[in-house]
Structure 1
Amino acid sequence: MITVDHLTKRYGARTVVSDVSFTCTPGSVTGFLGPNGAGKSTTLRALVGLTVPTSGTATIAGRAHRDLPNAGRQVGVLLDAGAQHAGRTGRETLTLTAMVLGVDTERVDEVLGQVGLAGRPAGTRVGSYSLGMRQRLGLAGALLGDPEVLVLDEPANGLDPEGIWWMRGLLRGFADRGGTVLLSSHQLREVEAVADQLVVISGGRIVAQGSKTELLGRRGTVVRGPDRAVLARALQTAGIAVSAGDDDALVADADPLAVGQAAAAAGAVLTELGQAGGEGLEELFRALTASPGTGTQQPAVAA
């Protein structure tokens, strides 16, 4: 179980994560999504003890990462696949990790096979690895201690389509055996394919969270007009939340009758008014992380 509770992180006067709360339960994959600079990496670093929160907590099984006995046996972490010694082989890298964790070195060859690096790649120096091979080695390191929780930041970077399909099965299998996965990624279609829960962060704050079914099944009203900004202001003045839709459309969080009445009261001209269907993750992501009335992403607070 991962629990992030009212987490805030400031650097001087700059707030990079503000009052963030969410949970990740055993047997599930949680997709942690947001644009660049939204606060994802800071949140993950706080969770695994690399950043000290200004306030709030981030715990695993009810304890801060630093308080977990032999944390690597309970939490597998991959935040930067490039942070590996270029002069060591893949097997040497994992053997050293196994020694630190107190894991039998036989486990090294087991996870090398699991991530597709058995044989010649295991004896090759990491400096000659492709990015995809480094990602596989990083996943092997995360799995080495046979943890119950995985915390992964962009693990699919550099993987080819076959590798992405493989990783999807790996994470799904881990969760189906009772593990907890927190997955941050920009590859939205892959997150949509594997995740059970979604947490979306923008500008350092959570803007949506819930099950994939709940979030992607949401409905609203698609509305267009000659002046998008005027229409957005009219709806907001009436207390109707709006977000960016496809092309020049807005998606209003109200039924078509209420939207039409709000537009008419403000004298805003409409060219389209209709019920929205369920959104895919890419459309939902864009709507939640865009500034209403402009279709552009909200200003980033921090990386």
Structure 2
Amino acid sequence: MIAAEHLTKRYGRHTAVDDVSFRCEPGTVTGFLGPNGAGKSTTMRMICGLTPPTAGTATVAGRPYRGLPNPGREVGVLLDASAQHAGRTGREVLTVAAATMGVERRKVAAALDRVGLDGAAARRRVRAYSLGMRQRLGLAHALLGDPRILILDEPANGLDPEGIFWMRGLLRDFADRGGTVLLSSHLLREVEAVADRLVVIGGGRVVAQGGKDELLGGTGTRVRARDLPGLRRALDTAGLAAAASGTDGSLLVSAGPDAVGQAAADAGIALTELRPAGDGGLEQLFLTLTTVDTAREAVR
């Protein structure tokens, strides 16, 4: 299990992460989502003991990461695919890691084969690797110690469509065998395909979390009016978060049609469209929950 409890990180007067709490259970893939600058990477670094929190705690397998006697045997971590020794070959990178973790050397070849880097690729120096190959090597490193938990930040960056499909199957199989996966990615459709639970962060705060089916079952309301500025003011007065949807002037609001209609009526705004947003999937949920927070952060 991964548990974040009231994690907060401040840099001077700037709060990068604000009171973030969530849990990742065994047998599940948790998608950790948010726009650039939302605090995802900072949160993951705090979980992995790389960034000390200003407040709050994080535990992995029941302990702070730094308290694990041999972290690589408990937790597989990939936060930056480029953080690898450029002068070593892929095989050498894993051989050093195996020696550090006390893993049998024969498992190096199996790990490389598992991620598709056997043969000539394993003998090539990392400086000659493409980003996709570095991602595969990073995944091999994360899996080398047979961990029960994976913490992955944008592991699909640089992978081609075939590689993304392969990674999806690998993570799903890992979770189905009882593993715990925390996955951060901007590839929303891939997260939607593999995740069981979602944690959405915006402006350093958790704006939604829960089961994927639960969250995607109610993705808000689509609303439109001829007086768009007036509609925006009415929604803002009512405390309802809204984001632009497409080019027709409609808005996506993270509230039900009754609340949206009432806010418009109270302000005397005539609506030309008011309906449930429907099944727009994870992309629509993401935009509804994060666009307004991102805009507010940008003007601070």
For the criterion TM > 0.5, the same-fold answer is yes
Query: Which residue identity lines up with residue 106 of structure 1 in the other structure?
Result: R
What's the CA shift string for 1:61-87, capped at 9, x where partnerless? 221000011011100000110111111
Unaligned runs of 5+ in 1: none
Query: Which residue identity lines up with residue 291 of structure 1 in the other structure?
Result: V
1:31 matched residue in structure 2: 31
Offset at residue 119 of structure 1 (A): 1.1
Matches within 5 A, 1:187-226: 187-226=187-226
Between the aligned partners of 1:58 and 1:185, the Cα distance in structure 2 is 21
Offset at residue 208 of structure 1 (A): 0.6
What's the CA shift string for 1:134-192, capped at 9, x where partnerless? 10000000000000000000100000000000000000000000000000111111111
**C-alpha contact 1:240 1:254 (8 A) present in aligned 2:** no
Classify 1:261/1:95 alpha carbon distance in 2 versus 1 (closer, same or farther; 3 Å).
closer
Matches within 5 A, 1:96-175: 96-175=96-175
Classify 1:105/1:56 alpha carbon distance in 2 versus 1 (closer, same or farther; 3 Å).
same
Classify 1:172/1:185 alpha carbon distance in 2 versus 1 (closer, same or farther; 3 Å).
same
| SS at 1:146 equivalent | coil
Offset at residue 272 of structure 1 (A): 1.1
The reply to whether residue 92 of structure 1 matches residue 111 of structure 2 is no
Could you tell me the percent identity over the aligned residues?
Answer: 67
Between the aligned partners of 1:221 and 1:109, the Cα distance in structure 2 is 52
Offset at residue 258 of structure 1 (A): 4.7
| SS at 1:178 equivalent | coil
What's the CA shift string for 1:109-143, capped at 9, x where partnerless? 01001000111111111111111001000000000
Between the aligned partners of 1:219 and 1:83, the Cα distance in structure 2 is 38
| SS at 1:291 equivalent | helix
Query: Which residue identity lines up with residue 243 of structure 2 in the other structure?
Result: A
Classify 1:216/1:204 alpha carbon distance in 2 versus 1 (closer, same or farther; 3 Å).
same
Classify 1:48/1:220 alpha carbon distance in 2 versus 1 (closer, same or farther; 3 Å).
closer
Query: Which residue identity lines up with residue 264 of structure 2 in the other structure?
Result: A
Q: TM-score, normalised by structure 2?
A: 0.94
RMSD between aligned residues:
1.9
What's the CA shift string for 1:70-111, capped at 9, x where partnerless? 011100000110111111111001000000000000010010
Matches within 5 A, 1:217-296: 217-237=217-237, 239=238, 241-247=240-246, 248-291=249-292
Between the aligned partners of 2:107 and 2:295, the Cα distance in structure 1 is 45
**C-alpha contact 1:76 1:147 (8 A) present in aligned 2:** yes
Between the aligned partners of 2:255 and 2:41, the Cα distance in structure 1 is 34
Q: How many residues align?
A: 298
Query: Which residue identity lines up with residue 176 of structure 2 in the other structure?
Result: D
Between the aligned partners of 2:120 and 2:164, the Cα distance in structure 1 is 22
Unaligned runs of 5+ in 2: none
Classify 1:75/1:202 alpha carbon distance in 2 versus 1 (closer, same or farther; 3 Å).
same
| SS at 2:245 equivalent | coil
